A and B are shown apart, each in its own frame.
Chain A
Amino acid sequence: MELFNSESKKIVSDPINVNNPISLQVLGICSALAVTIRLDQAIIMTLAVVFVLCSSNVILSLIRNYIPSRVRIVIMLSVIASLVSVVDELLKAYLYDMSKQLSVFVGLIITNCIIMGRAEAFALKHGPSKAFLDGLGNSMGYGLIIIIVSFFRELFGAGTITLPDGGAGYVLWSIPESWYAAGYENIGLLVLSPGAFIILGLVIWIQREFAGVEEDA
């Protein structure tokens, strides 16, 4: 099979745009609301989800013909849970501050519907290379949305843009003191969960407008 033919491209690009797991299928909302307070958290979370989803898709696709269908959900869950635990342990070892901030939400990747959903809907029916591309597309579709949401939440909510580094985050840019002196204020609501709903709602609206999606009435 050719890796970069148009079908493969479609497997990757579809979930990023026209069939985005968050904005179209409205999956994985829990973590999308919880870890989007700061950009650096969203970026690390994206990397974690890319790793878990790609690996789980490939592993499950490789053993798909051997899995007894009666226990397939249990097998999927064990594979996903193990991968998430590995990520959690690695974060605690190499990015301790980040793992403290992400706290339970790394563990909750296990219950992220996107991962189980792709395993059941795609990985068990396709070969490993396609499953990998599907995992890549979906996790990047997820990541794209949470990175956009966290960018706006952090910028307007806390007045900073933070990139991940080994420690507590590298502040790339923050709103200058002179703006605050001139009367500018951060929007406190955006730091709270309702703020995430509002931004996410706007992102979904704009994204569906661009993708040309129409909901059945």
Chain B
Amino acid sequence: MHSNNYTLFFVFIVTVVLGTMLSFTKDSVKDLQDQNLKADVQKTILRSLNFDESLLLTNESIEETFKISIDAKCVNVEGEIVDCNIEEVDIEKNENILPIYIRMDNDEVQGIALPIAGKGLWSTIFGYIALNPDTDSVLGIQFYKHGETPGLGGEVEKKWFTDNFVNHPLKLPNGEIQYIPKKIRDKSGKIVSIKVVKGGVDYSESNTSSIHQVDGISGATVTADGVTDFLLEDLLRYEKTLDKIRDYGTI
């Protein structure tokens, strides 16, 4: 039987040795991890803007594509451009410095990506929603960081869920079904956002707002409600900016 002092001493030594080992490891790979994180955010933005996957294979090609095709700036709630260090803007806290990423092609807006973030069940969910130049129909939505339960709330990042936002089955008069993107504005042009519906969207004729609804995730109602809430809240902050882009084609 070892004495109490020996036991305490032993535990102390083990803690110091293991702690040193861990901090040394973290220290030596921190830069690489930061690069990966940055590339991951850029990849999410590019994906939401519907860039071809072949451009997104390596960190280098992601950075290159981002540099060439994306016009990144900040706006305020009034829709005016403001100065900012876009990588350091805290989208959760900052109410009046709003990052916006515009996909430009021959000086024309091809798509607009906006950061979205908010509470799910366990964690803050981070992502980007991209809109077409009409600032109404969805071009894509991607989530890149969350701590939701894998298989339940964690499904928000999966393709089947994000595809919901761009595949609205529209019944044509001749009976065929055409897939169109979901819309964030109602007929009068007001932003109503998109609601994640528990159980699934009712596509019968009587549900006139099905174009503003997507299927929820079974077993993840709280996560889905969170997405519904922060999507509306975040889109409303960009209302004036989006109106400007719709009306004038630029900010």
Q: Which residues in A have some Cβ–Cβ distance to B below 8 Å?
A: 34, 66-71, 74-75, 78-79, 82, 85-86, 89-90, 92-94, 96, 100, 103-104, 166-168, 193
- The answer to whether A89 and B150 have CB atoms under 8 Å apart is no
CB<8 Å pairs between A and B, sample of 27: A66-B10, A67-B10, A68-B2, A68-B10, A70-B7, A71-B7, A71-B10, A74-B11, A75-B11, A75-B14, A78-B18, A79-B14, A79-B18, A82-B18, A89-B25, A89-B33, A90-B25, A92-B33, A93-B33, A94-B32, A96-B39, A100-B40, A103-B150, A104-B150, A167-B57, A168-B57, A193-B151
Q: How far is the CA of A86 from the CA of B23 in the complex (A)?
A: 9
Main secondary structure of the interface of A (DSSP, over half): helix
Q: Given A71, A89, A94, A167, which contacts B26 in the complex, CB threshold below 8 Å?
A: A89
- The answer to whether B22 and A96 have CB atoms under 8 Å apart is no
Confirm or deny: B36 has a beta carbon within 8 angstroms of a beta carbon on chain A.
yes
Known: A75-B10, A75-B11, A86-B21. 7 other contacts (CB 8 A): A66-B10, A68-B7, A93-B33, A94-B32, A96-B36, A168-B57, A193-B151
Q: Given B14, B29, B58, which contacts A92 in the complex, CB threshold below 8 Å?
A: B29
- The answer to whether B25 and A34 have CB atoms under 8 Å apart is no
Query: Known contacts being A68-B10, A103-B150, A193-B151, is A86 close to B25, with CB within 8 Å?
Result: yes
B16-48 contact mask (Cβ, 8 Å, vs A): 1 or 0: 001001100110010011001001100000000
Confirm or deny: B15 has a beta carbon within 8 angstroms of a beta carbon on chain A.
yes
Query: Known contacts being A68-B2, A90-B25, A94-B32, is A167 close to B58, with CB within 8 Å?
Result: yes
Q: List residues of chain A with CB within 8 A of the CB of B10.
A: 66-68, 71, 75
Q: How far is the CA of A201 from the CA of B11 in the complex (A)?
A: 42
Q: How far is the CA of A104 from the CA of B146 in the complex (A)?
A: 12
Q: How far is the CA of A168 from the CA of B11 in the complex (A)?
A: 41
- The answer to whether B7 and A86 have CB atoms under 8 Å apart is no
Confirm or deny: B248 has a beta carbon within 8 angstroms of a beta carbon on chain A.
no
Confirm or deny: B6 has a beta carbon within 8 angstroms of a beta carbon on chain A.
yes
Q: How far is the CA of A5 from the CA of B18 in the complex (A)?
A: 34
- The answer to whether A93 and B7 have CB atoms under 8 Å apart is no
Q: List residues of chain B with CB within 8 A of the CB of A90.
A: 25, 29
Q: How far is the CA of A87 from the CA of B58 in the complex (A)?
A: 22
Look across to chain B and name the residue whose beta carbon is closest to the beta carbon of A85.
B22
Q: How far is the CA of A104 from the CA of B1 in the complex (A)?
A: 38
Q: How far is the CA of A121 from the CA of B205 in the complex (A)?
A: 66
Look across to chain A and name the residue whose beta carbon is closest to the beta carbon of B9.
A68
Q: List residues of chain A with CB within 8 A of the CB of B36.
A: 92-93, 96
